[in-house]
Chain A
């Protein structure tokens, strides 16, 4: 279609309106020449050095003039006849002609003429339109900017815009665009009346009213969710559910508060790095974690972390930059000025991050948390006041603790693994062992060491925190906690393959929970009687698989480090080459899914030769802090020391009890969010260019940098995610505002001003309404990147408010309405289709935000999962009819209703949806449970509210569904259907009870004067009306 458009406008009629007269124009490089070069030449003669043929590049004027290895000038300005490019595309020799015949992309004669004229005129190049900063063209005072640009084009083509739509359809259109479901008949009437007096005023006031509705944010969040690839599950084979709805709610709130788009981007890319980052800002960075996560048993975690990174790049490219960044993952981009090196330059901004998870507290809970922290701090301050000598006392205590510590040597594992093979522990530079990937509810992790085993008396197990673990760990459970069933140590003599167990004694720990039954939530199907217990460190080596060592200090304190020490019954004195195997067994998980595991995420094994080594009852975090010189300790480490000291100070007993009581009140957050968190210190991760984009082929280190063809990065300051976010959201960016404006335009008109809304690169031809796009983009930035301002501008235009009626003439000339000579008309998005049905039925639940709900789906769908989603509990109360935005999205089982109406399932960023009308979508809206319930409820509503006779009821039904009254012909059809079914109901051929009610839609009492037969007959009519083209279409 693009080719058609270009040919009509600019090849056949190379004239353009300039100051009221038409003059022949010079060939426009961007509109006419670049598409030819891009389509036919750049694949081999473009920016990618590796793929370049004959050392010729045609994307730069200088290079084209110089020519390639033949030495011949490809382009000779002013002389098409001696320009090789012309000769080559016209050549009739198979080995001469360009592009080569095997490419099957011949250049047409019309295109050759353009090239010739362009060369004759001097062969001027121009920067690709989208890389030039947008500018605001002049608009006459009093003219609506949108209309000014649109009508200028229409006039130039001697065409007229369509008249304004009637008030009722316009009211419906505004409701659908602003809140995502249709108006009630009363709202339509109100608008109609207001519009009689002042049509523009009525529109403005309706826009204002609807933008204040919290449903505005729901409607507009969905568009961002598409491109942000939001989903409620992790994807891949395991496809475990994830909790990410706090991020989804953040987006809804951001739209409702009209958060400036630049800030919207900055918080999502780097909210955690903003000074004094709030919980909301951390939640915002959940955006970057919407990638799929592979938890299959056999993965190498780094491979799939890289896949997540590639996905992040792809998403940022499509969502914000409008560039196909991922094309430069394996090599320099063939068409756009993004080198392979620059791809990894952008990648580097994001690579230095943990894949973190944090609790998200409610507002009420946050107040409680603040109060607790405040009280604890105040109590500690008062302790310091009471004991002015506290610092000396702490130092003395520290010295005494240190003196009692054994001298530990961390061991370097030579082999790591798990008996099942499902888990993949990896060795970190500090010799700690990090386990990621598949979470096993039952299993073990082992490490083999070939250490010096002379006089070894004890072994230490450290449970350590890490940014990649849930809530920092140290465990991998849904709370970041752990429970170790058994620690088993064995030795293998050199040359032997026999393993001898080693007897362990005297277990000690910094902290253990008291002995107790495993809680209900860890219930496992292999322990139905719940025999397992957890608690003291003695359980670690008691040889009993029913018991486990656990040190959960409760919400608020649980995600801290711990230590256990065991002694060898007899000190080890073994020849060098002996293998020491340490195995941690985990049999205290539940069996629901992987989140019920109790594995340690990060641990470290050390040995000592000291006599009688023990773990002191001192918080291990404090012991770790002691190992640093006082000047090197972070505030958190200083705090850990202070906390540990006061807990041992007898004088602080009362305050300690007061503080302990405070921590007991620490709330459990209702949900959490996956997000990124920056790595610091020794954990900083450099980025290496990956050869051919392959995760296991790292090459040279790449520093963070942005593509040279785009605006420059601020030279000063750190080059971190925040710097990139600010660069992206900068007014100097030629792309950012245009992409955002285009997304809004696409949502309203069904197609963007730039049709390829995900790609503004050189393959995107100059849009017909570039001036309009640019005006809106600049205006958007001038008005504080306000979406509400932008949307208001678009919706107040006459262009938007035109009638969408398509005359045969309009269709013939402009089937896809790119001239905007009529109003938008297209099928509603999947979510709006469903929400509209529920809304007209009076069922739509109005609650904003919260966990996603599980929609009813056929059992056969649940059965086709690799892992059956046993958590799929479908609500039977009003929550069942929540907006589609809150319908659980499971990646490997795309929601059948949503996907049959073309909603994406979140595997990757989707910047524009296809729109199809298939028999499957027809069957869905006819027969799917929720649609059927909507038809039943609609029938009740019609009988309750629609007057007393069939005609007025039919009229009311039409008003509910389409915002207009019924036409006489339509009334006849409806009455005929009604009557036909009534007869059959009376004769018992149809059963009213089956048709009119389900157990969920049966009303407590029937509408006055209505019989079950009435309800059934109207249910059949309702089902038809919900499937009307007009009901499902914005017009």
Chain B
């Protein structure tokens, strides 16, 4: 949105003139920009005009967020701890446990070394676990943060915190804030699309909700079973032609009402039905991977294009952003290994590693990576102490790992460091609000200024916290 360049007076006059045309919320679907003007106005016509447009030119124009829910173990994947392996079976040093709260286990449980080996990769020499051969292959493209920290130790509050910046429900998600700030580029698809594999998430729909922002900024789940978008298919027996003639009639009738009642909201409704119609074509086309070349399917490791897998969602993410979708978020809740860690985490990596890496490679090949922010991570980490026998880890909020790639980020870079047991951060901690502040920075926003007034208060994604993590910026 070009708020920054034009003359504010003219801008305002134009806005006022158009605003009567749209009234409160107008149309839009996370800014489906079928008629870009209308959608922008829909956003602008809400109670406060809002920031509408970046504060400065952002490096990233869009986001793909692979939210690996359930809390992947940093100790098995990203953060090698030979000392932990050495002290396997011993009790943790008592001073470490002062004031520490785990979720389930007694903090004073034996240390558990990882069964998996780490090795250095690429020119950068970043160490990755043997569980992640494909991700490791991208070492020189990634920015790995080993010093994430969060406030919550339960799944639902921690997921909500990571995604909305608050442990209390009802705040807009990062994706919703992004749309609120940037709108959508696409013509026929929602601006914020959610793809789920494995099971439903602990945080539920609030993970991608619009909170108090207009409804149209919420994430729209695209589903692998049944209709990709809820109620996308016409009722039984109604073919495309019948649908078209029905909508033509509807438009005509509504137009006649517009003439009589004069309410511009009728025009907004007419437009929303037209967009719905286009979505009926664009969404199935988007979901149809049959025309993707075999080489691409192989890259992602997709065996059956119909099967609802994480890999399929990774490819869909690329297809979505190619079609102008601003924000794509994958949810894959599978990482809560309180027990059976060795086997289960291996299985998870087999499901996700190749595809996550393929997505980055694919974006890079297509020249999309340079202005796309790619994020991989979950809600917290796991304890260096064992849970239940000898093969599980509990929730741990003191440290965990995230990897990022793409726009404006350092490449082949490791940020932050944990202690020799992977218990505490010892260098460059990155709290959740800092991470989100940095994401917004990459998108061209001052996180303290991207606000929305609700109940008399100017809310933001980062609450009253957050510092941009300069150390990861290119």
Contact = CB atoms under 8 A, between A and B. Distances in A.
Interface in B253-289: 253-254, 256-258, 260-266, 268-270, 272-273, 275-276, 278-280
B145 interface: no
Contact of A296 (B47, B155, B167, B170): B155
The 6 closest A-B pairs by CB, nearest first: A892-B204, A421-B104, A994-B237, A298-B103, A763-B456, A815-B20
A916 B28 contact: yes
B201 A327 contact: no
Contacts of A993: 237
Contacts of B52: none
A866 B265 contact: no
A297 interface: yes
Contacts of A974: 249, 253
Interface majority SS on A: helix, strand, loop or mixed? loop
Interface in B189-234: 196, 199-206, 214-216, 220-221, 223-227, 229-234
A981 B269 CA distance: 24
Interface string A811-824: 11001100000000
A970 B259 CA distance: 12
Given A762-B456, A858-B230, A860-B223, 8 more contacts: A237-B202, A806-B264, A826-B265, A827-B265, A861-B230, A907-B206, A1020-B242, A1028-B250
A921 B257 CA distance: 20
B229 to A, nearest CB: 7
Contact of A324 (B26, B258, B456): B456
Given A859-B226, A866-B199, A299 B154 contact: yes
Contacts of B26: 916-917
B200 to A, nearest CB: 4
Interface stretch (A752-760, A776-784, A792-800): A752-760
Contacts of B199: 864-866
Interface in A851-878: 858-861, 863-867
A920 B29 contact: yes
A915 interface: yes
Contact of A805 (B23, B153, B260, B338): B260
Given A914-B215, A922-B272, A825 B157 contact: no
B28 A1029 contact: no
A292 B16 CA distance: 41
B235 A932 contact: yes
Contacts of B202: 236-237, 296, 866
Contacts of B155: 237, 296
B279 A923 contact: yes
A310 B170 CA distance: 13
B190 to A, nearest CB: 8
B19 interface: yes
Interface string A478-517: 0000000000000000000000000000000000000000
A908 B170 contact: yes
B354 to A, nearest CB: 24
A149 to B, nearest CB: 24
Interface residues of A, number: 115
B290 interface: no
A860 B215 contact: no
Given A104-B449, A294-B156, A805-B261, A995 B27 contact: no
B276 A917 contact: no
6 contacts: A324-B455, A808-B262, A893-B205, A900-B230, A922-B272, A926-B276
B156 A1029 contact: no
Given A296-B202, A923-B230, A917 B268 contact: yes
A1016 interface: yes
B410 interface: no
A1035 interface: yes
Which of A300, A758, A916, A1030 is packed against the most chain B CB atoms within 10 Å? A916
B306 interface: no
Contact of A973 (B16, B168, B252, B387): B252
A919 B272 contact: yes
Contacts of A839: none
A402 interface: no
Contacts of A924: 230-231
A990 B239 contact: yes
A158 interface: no
Contacts of B249: 973-974, 976-977, 1021, 1024
B106 interface: yes
B444 to A, nearest CB: 15
Which of B226, B253, B265 is packed against the most chain A CB atoms within 10 Å? B253
Nearest to B238: A995
A922 to B, nearest CB: 4
Given A864-B221, A915-B24, A917-B26, A858 B455 contact: no
A334 B455 CA distance: 12
A920 B262 contact: no
A104 B160 CA distance: 30
A1030 B455 CA distance: 32
A812 B215 contact: no
B98 interface: no
Contacts of A867: 200
Interface in A674-732: none
B457 interface: yes
Contacts of B24: 816, 914-915
Contact of A756 (B25, B204, B253, B456): B456
B10 interface: no
A969 B338 CA distance: 68
A441 interface: no
Interface in A965-992: 967, 969-970, 973-974, 976-977, 980-981, 984, 989-992
B104 A297 contact: yes
A422 interface: yes
A429 interface: no
A899 to B, nearest CB: 8
A118 interface: no
B206 A421 contact: no
Given A421-B387, A917-B26, A239 B103 contact: no
Given A298-B154, A755-B47, A866-B202, A812 B20 contact: yes
B309 to A, nearest CB: 14
A991 B237 CA distance: 6
A866 B276 contact: no
B333 interface: yes
A980 B168 CA distance: 54
A841 B240 CA distance: 25
A891 interface: yes
Contacts of B238: 990, 995, 1020
A866 B333 contact: yes
A324 B457 contact: yes
A768 interface: no
Interface in A147-178: none
A825 B169 contact: no
Interface string A274-307: 0000000000000000001010111110000001
Given A806-B263, A908-B169, A969-B256, A1027 B273 contact: yes
B105 interface: yes
B382 to A, nearest CB: 12
Contacts of B23: 815-816
B74 interface: no
Which of A764, A899, A1032 is packed against the most chain B CB atoms within 10 Å? A899
B395 interface: yes
A580 B67 CA distance: 45
Contact of A815 (B19, B206, B233, B235): B19
B169 A235 contact: yes
A373 to B, nearest CB: 42
Given A764-B456, A917-B269, A858 B227 contact: yes
Which of A327, A759, A926, A992 is packed against the most chain B CB atoms within 10 Å? A926
A996 B257 CA distance: 27
B6 interface: no
Contacts of A927: 231-235
